Amino acid sequence: MSTDDGRPTVHGLHHVTAIAGDPQENIDFYTGVMGMRLVKKSVNQDAPDTYHLFYADDVGSPGTDLTFFPWPDLPKARPRVGQVVEVPFAVSSGSLGYWQERFEENGVTTKELETRFGERTLPFEDPHGLRLALVETDDEREFAPWGHSPVPAEHQVRGMHSVRMWEHELGPTETLLTEVMGFDKIDEREGWHRYGVEGGGSGTLAEVKVVEQNPRTSNRVGGTGAVHHAAWRMRDTDEQKALRNVVAQVGLQPTPQIDRHWFTSVYFREPGGVLFELATDGPGFTVDEDREDLGTSLVLPPSMEDRREEIEAALPPLDRPEGRA
């Protein structure tokens, strides 16, 4: 898809990457409580002394993937301007009662139910402080239920619904979203501005709130519970390159295209400071593992295979994820 003048646009959320504490606790929560599938166990390609853990639907469909860099020694983050401050997930309408009971049984503290943009929403945090929410929606979206999940298919997390960002000012970020990346402004309620692409359905949304807070975030890594970056879908590398060129033309200094083995990435900071990524849909997570074996072994990009012994020696052992009913 492209804008009216032929420029390429993003197609919704591809993945969100955050910072976790203990990696085993991270695995136990997202597979055992949230019922998501660990579809890839790898390492941070820029800092291979820590894992990179990917949770998604059964096949790792773009838009369902929440990933983590575990850095247990970091302090807990607090929400800051210039960051993604919450990651809402989509669940089917009528599912929040099930999730309230499940969270209570598993010791997960939730906040009061809210209505946001007409959608029933349950905010909560993961064990390391990442702010999350479940949003009831019947929007059609790409999703493959995981047959071994402890959560019934009808209640499973269906992927990222949106990302919520705090900014010092709205104008520059809104201009990037609407004039460069292909978003339309959909609504404004209770100080939150909602933007969406391709009709604004679940998985295509960015929500922005102007917050007075000083100083701006200065630690670009953040602490545990912080979102590292939000990635937006591109169909292929040609479309990605075209949009990268537009981002460069407006002065945002995107990186070159970087081969991440499962997708190709381009990174840049939007005007308010949030790290954005443009990520291609393919080749996907089955490029190096069969579908039934996803997430069962440590997978390294081919460029790192000659360092496998050294990399594995620096990583803590992890137990296989165990589901909890």
Strand pairing class (275-280; 227-234): parallel
Three state DSSP letters for 90-110 = EECCCCHHHHHHHHHHCCCCE
Residue 320: predicted pLDDT: 74
Q: Name which of 26-35, 53-62, 217-226 the model is least confident about.
A: 217-226
Q: Which two tokens stand for residue 15?
A: 């993945």
Q: What domains can you pick out in the chain, each with its CATH number? A: 13-314 (3.10.180.10)
Tell me: pLDDT of 160 over 70. yes
* pLDDT of 81 higher than 80: yes
Alpha carbon separation from 202 to 11, 153, 191, 206, 325 (Å, rounded): 11, 18, 20, 10, 27
The pair phi, psi for residue 31, each rounded to 5°, is -90, -40
Q: Residue 323 pLDDT > 60, yes or no?
A: no
3 state SS of 189: strand
Say if pTM beats, i.e. exceeds, 0.85: yes
Residue 302 makes CB contacts below 8 A (sequence gap 6+) with 261
Average pLDDT over residues 235-250: 98
> Which of the four pLDDT bands, split at 50, 70 and 90, describes residue 100?
very high
pLDDT band for 321, please (50, 70, 90 cuts): low
Helical (H) or strand (E) element with 18:
strand 13-20
Q: What is the DSSP letter of 154?
A: G
CA atoms within 13 A on the CB side of 262: 23
- Alpha-carbon gap, residue 87 to 133, rounded angstroms: 6
Q: Strands 192-196 and 119-125, how do they pair?
A: unpaired
- Confidence bin at 324 (pLDDT 50/70/90): very low
Question: Which of the four pLDDT bands, split at 50, 70 and 90, describes residue 213?
Answer: confident
**pLDDT of 56 above 80:** yes
Across the chain, mean pLDDT equals 94
pLDDT one-digit tens code per residue, 263-318: 999 999 999 999 999 999 999 999 999 999 999 999 999 999 999 999 999 999 99
User: Looking at the predicted structure, is the pLDDT value of residue 7 above 90?
Assistant: no
N-to-C CA span, the chain: 42
